[in-house]
Structure 1
């Protein structure tokens, strides 16, 4: 499912226009990105949690030349699946 298909599904289930569904989805995604970028977590009980994770510095290798290189430490976004979501997928 791509974004436009998701918007169609939201509009149908919520019985709202596609324009309103687009605004709602964009606001939802923007809010999650802004919150996680600020270092806070977004917990949606039963669905999952969006949070940050620290990735340590490490050594890598250029696959083309074999040359070793340093990969710096980074803060990355992470999603942890909630129990309700996991159970719904497992029922398939």
Structure 2
């Protein structure tokens, strides 16, 4: 598996794709990240066209097992961030 793209590499690629400077690209990336974070934290969802949908899901309280001791403990309800990948992206990776 290839190494993940760093933020610096992503900003550089975004600047090249947009035909602008890295400062503008970094500001655009930070703005998109901020919007996604705010929307998902508020219980909403964000769809990135041709990429996927990012959303928050609530997990109910449940009993879990400590793997070290085997002891059953109660875990409170919590929220997790999920992402569903679009069919177009899946097909481009597999095609």
* Residue 42 (structure 1) aligned with residue 46 (structure 2): yes
Give the SS at the match of 2:83.
strand
Q: 1:76 aligns with which of 59, 76, 80?
A: 80
Q: How many residues align?
A: 91
What is the CA RMSD across the aligned residues, in angstroms?
1.3
Give the SS at the match of 2:58.
strand
Could you tell me how far 1:61 is from its partner in structure 2?
2.1
Higher mean C-alpha displacement, 39-48 vs 57-66: 57-66
* Residue 60 (structure 1) aligned with residue 85 (structure 2): no
Q: Which residue of 2 aligns with 1:33?
A: 37
The 1-side partners of 2:77 and 2:66 are apart by 18
Q: 1:23 aligns with which of 24, 27, 31?
A: 27
TM-score by length of 2: 0.86
Could you tell me how far 1:63 is from its partner in structure 2?
2.6
The 1-side partners of 2:26 and 2:49 are apart by 23
5+ residue gaps in structure 1?
Answer: none
